[in-house]
Structure 1
Amino acid sequence: MVHNFSRPSPLGEQNISIVATLFYKSDSPRHPHLHADSALHSPCDTLPKASLSHLKDGAVPTENMNDYPLEPPTPGPDPLDHLYGSYISQSCLTDFFGTLTNIISGFQEQTATHRNLDGSKSARVVEVIFSLPSPSATSLDFLRKDEMISRFEREWNVEAVFQYNTVYRRYKRLAVFDMDSTLIQQEVIDEIARVLGVEEQVSAITAAAMNGELDFEASLRKRCALLNGVPSTVWETLKPRITLNHGAADLIKILKRLGYKTAVLSGGFTPMTGWLAGQLGLDYYYANHLVVSENGNHLTGELTGEIVHAEKKRQHVLEIAAKESILLDQVLVVGDGANDLPMMGVAGLGVAFNAKARVQMEAPARINSQSLLDVLYLLGITKEEQGVLLR
């Protein structure tokens, strides 16, 4: 079925080009039998020899029904990447172009080009660029949410990220990050709660808040109240426990070499956010302030000053961009929680990184990956170019 869309592109009546970055989810095994995600294969591989050696003596038909074992469930059809290759194969690309043909009225496959971004023989990341037959043919919102795209992703075990292929996509100037579970692996408030032994109560509230089930500010105050009595030296205790997400340091290093301004906006707390910004060399950091007791010995569980909630994060992005004279189309935002969605929405590219379920559904782009460096593929920076920038 071909969909006809009437919503005009925000780019006006000019020739519209779209880039789709396809990520093969090699880190997420999903097959009921040995596949794939543990070893690359191709249609040319030799099939394993069949054998009956596992059968025991006397394994013959019997008239005694009690001797028959229960049958295993009938396996479903093989995922297509299992059949055609555990990477982005030519068959996968052909199906992608066919999907676009069904979605976009007048789509011409000959307008599309593609290149392997990760440089491996069996491509894990492929960039596809194609032109729209008219500005009203489709939009990024439709492509990102179309059921046929979703089905393609499931069948081939890939994720597709769509962007307008403009100069601003390739030349961004400001990168803004959430801290907890984005730049670092931990949720700092949960780590503080562990010191007092109330981590289960705090973690449950944190999880609900990050998935958008609770108001962030109300949930933050509720969690902080449980921290009353924590020694004020807790920050020094926590620093050795903080672990950067894989690729975070290298990503910041590359962005700074490319001339980016960088920022971390956190619903966490200033002592940790300021320390992390110093460790990574970030230009800006904003977070919340916990009140220390009058004698300076412990935290009271209260907050002071403005709360860095979802809307405040959005406001900070706008203010930093304005201060640095950077167009919003040249802003990259990466986060994982529901409170990151508003700042993702004002950026040229908002990326949900290993995000909560609701955030994955609503974010402009999503990446489920072991490394933050994969964000660079969305800017068209190849694996080889990343290596050059890290030398």
Structure 2
Amino acid sequence: MSADEGTTPSPLKPARPSMTAAMRSSSFLNDHQQYRPPSKPDNHYGIDTVVEDLQASSINSPKQISPFNGIPSPENPPTIVESGLSHEYTHPNCTQPPGLTTDRLIATLFYKSTSPRVSNAVGPSSSPPHTASSPVRASSPTGADAEIPSNLAPSSSFDTFPLEPPTNDTEPLDHIYGSYVSPMCITSFLHLMSTFPLPRGSTNLTSAHRCLKLDAASDHHPQVVELTLAPAPSQDYLSLADLRKHELIYRFEREWNIDVVLRSDTLWRRHPRLVVFDMDSTLITQEVIDLLAATIKDPPDLAARVADITHRAMSGELEFDGAFRARVKLLTGLSADIFNQLRPVLDVTNGVRPLLRALKKLGVKTAVLSGGFLPLTSWLAGELGIDYAHANEVVIDEATGRLTGEVKGRIVGKERKQELLLEIAQKEGIDLEQVVAVGDGANDLLMMESAGLGVAWNAKPMVQMEASARLNGESLLDLLYLFGFTDEEVAILSKET
């Protein structure tokens, strides 16, 4: 047997395994990871994309920013548009372009929380309902002998009511929507103002509002709200004086238990320079002549007689000059020392002292023009820091030291008050637009008419209807809200130093 026949050839060894180019991958993790992130948008560049897929990605060039190639104009105002909102740099309540004048109306709404509305119907009627957050309304007068509120009519009983007795009022809406200046109240007022025609060429009525005073005692509800309306209703159709007396305004006030003060938005509105006050029932809560009559016990009905003449004179039923002489005549024989005795009795109206501090800090001159008596008026002016004081002088018998029942010189009635206001303004070099007059009686109407702003303070009905502004609250400090001050600013101005 040959060697070739006895030898078995060995099998070939398998080739060494190797990965071809098609089997190779750029990343082991990329092939074996269990989570694959969603494909990234072209404009998102993560680190993995940069390292692994840079060649497969297409990089978009950033958006070109157009260069500024013009100046904004009224036809093309600058505008920012973002997230569907458009922000413009112009607004109807902003300053007007050169050549145009501002025509805005300021409406200040005072909620009469301390003066609840009383039904003025004759005969028995039930009191309107009230909620826990609203003040309890006083019950209505019942019967012909019932007392009529002093600010309702120039009479004290229904027997002498000068007009046909008024009918029942509707339910006050502040009982339903809140005993404060509620959002529904503001909405109702804006709807009311939209019914008046706008000036020629105007198509839209714009408004803005801000709260000036909050009621800290009840959930910080707004008590005084200032609204800015642009443009003001057409003066060709309705003057501001007539707008203030419009029946729709009066009805709104009754429905919502609100006082509405309407003023043109002028520079002088915010910067008064002279404030003139009546004294009796304004700076103080009493009528001095009634206090004097109350000291005389014989005859026993003298005080009531004097008070009746005072009420009728303040309501405009009697001429003030003649009524004052008649009342002084009834005081014949009264000791002149009574003026000193009455000083501690005078009750200064709530808010007067902080108001006068605020006016002094603002550099505003003040005056008291009283139809009362000069000895008490001058003393009170000195106590309160009032700059000017004018009142009546009575004749005193030097031998007995008692009143003779006569008046010295001109009586400080409505004409004289107007003259004194004009004299003080001229002496101080103050424009009448920057003069404010505050009073409550018919003898204050002429001086209130001459001033830039006449304010009826808890006044008689005729005075409330004629005055350019009405305040029927508890604090005379409310006067500052008419100038646009907020509660915070009022607190700063009236703070004792």
Write the letter of the residue equivalent to 1:346: S
Which stretch shifts more, 25-34 or 145-154? 25-34
Q: 1:319 & 1:264 partners in 2: Cα distance?
A: 13
The question of 1:29 aligning with 2:116 is answered yes
Q: 1:86 to 1:279 in 2, by over 3 A?
A: same
Q: Is the aligned partner of 1:196 residue 2:300?
A: no
1:20 aligns with: 107
Residue matched to 1:124: 223
| Displacement of 1:79 | 2.1
TM-score where L is the length of structure 2: 0.67
Q: Which residue of 2 aligns with 1:96?
A: 189
Measure the CA separation in 1 of the matches of 2:477 and 2:252. 25
Report if the CA contact (8 A) 1:97-1:109 is conserved. Answer: no
State which of 274, 285, 292 in structure 2 corresponds to 1:174.
274
Q: Decide which of 349, 358, 365 is 2:462's aligned counterpart.
A: 358
Deviation at 1:77, TM superposition (A): 5.7
Q: How far off is 1:115 after superposition?
A: 0.5
**Partner Cα separation in structure 2 for residue 162 and residue 222 of structure 1:** 38
CA-CA distance at 1:27 after TM superposition: 1.0
Who is 1:61 aligned against?
none
Once the two structures are superposed, the pairs formed by residues 341-356 of structure 1 within 5 Å of their partners are 341-356=445-460
Q: For the residues of structure 2 that align with 1:14 and 1:181, how far apart are their CA atoms?
A: 40
- Where structure 2 has 5 or more consecutive residues not aligned to the other structure, the ranges are 1-99, 119-126, 136-167
Moved more, 16-25 or 138-147: 138-147
**Kept in 2: contact 1:24–1:159 (CA 8 A):** yes
Q: Report the RMSD for the aligned CA atoms in angstroms.
A: 1.9
CA distance in 2, matches of 1:175, 1:251: 11
Q: CA deviation at 1:40?
A: 4.8
Measure, in 1, the Cα distance between the counterparts of 2:286 and 2:102: 44
Residues 180-221 of structure 1, C-alpha deviations (whole Å, 9 max, x = no match): 000001100111111113211111101110111111110110
Equivalence map 1:265-304=2 (5 Å)? 265-304=369-408
- Structure 1 counterpart of 2:209, one-letter code: H
Amino acid at match of 1:122: H
- The reply to whether residue 240 of structure 1 matches residue 344 of structure 2 is yes
SS across alignment from 2:209: strand
More RCO (CA 8 Å, sep 6+): 1
Q: The residue matched to 1:160 in structure 2 has which SS?
A: strand
Q: One-letter code of the match for 1:367?
A: L
For 1:102, the aligned partner's letter is T
CA deviation digits over 1:327-377, x for unaligned, max 9? 000001000000000000010100000001111111111111111011111
Amino acid of the structure 2 residue aligned with 1:17: R
Contact 1:332 1:347 in 2 (8 A): yes
> Structure 1: which amino acid aligns with 2:197?
I
Instruction: Give the conservation status (yes or no) of the 8 Å contact 1:14–1:135.
Output: no
Query: Is the 1:15–1:135 Cα contact (8 Å) retained in structure 2?
Result: no
Partner of 1:328: 432
Offset from partner CA, 1:141-199 (integer Å, 9 cap, x none): 12211111111111111110111110100000000000000000110011111111321
Supply the AA of the counterpart residue of 1:179. Answer: M
SS in 2 for 1:301: strand
Alignment partner, residue 47 of structure 1: none
CA contact (8 A) 1:16 1:135 kept: no
Question: For the residues of structure 1 that align with 2:352 and 2:425, how far apart are their CA atoms?
Answer: 22
Say which one has the larger Rg.
2
Separation in 1 of the partners of 2:445 and 2:204? 34
Instruction: Give CA-to-partner distance per residue, 1:203-247, whole Å, 9 cap, x none.
Output: 110111011111111011000000001011001111111000100
Residue 212 of structure 1 aligns with an amino acid whose one-letter code is G
Distance 2:271 2:198 in 1: 30
The count of corresponding residues between Structure 1 and Structure 2 is 345
What is the deviation of 1:76? Answer: 8.1
* Residue of structure 2 equivalent to 1:85: 178
More helix by share: 1
Determine the structure 1 residue equivalent to 2:324: 220
Q: Residue 207 of structure 2 corresponds to which residue in structure 1? A: 112
Any idea what SS the aligned residue of 1:124 has? Answer: strand
CA distance in 2, matches of 1:226, 1:233: 17
Q: In percent, how many aligned pairs have the same letter?
A: 49
Q: Supply the distance in 1 between the matched residues of 2:483 and 2:133 (Cα, whole angstroms).
A: 28
Return the alpha-carbon distance in structure 2 between the equivalents of residues 154 and 212 of structure 1: 23
TM-score scaled by length of structure 1: 0.84
Distance 1:342 1:77, change over 3 A: closer
1:126 corresponds to which letter in structure 2? Answer: V
Deviation at 1:137, TM superposition (A): 5.0
Partner residue of 1:55? none
Unmatched runs of 5 consecutive residues or more in structure 1: 1-12, 42-74
Give 1:208's aligned amino acid: R
1:77, 1:225 → 2: CA distance?
47
Could you tell me which amino acid in structure 2 is paired with residue 124 of structure 1?
Q
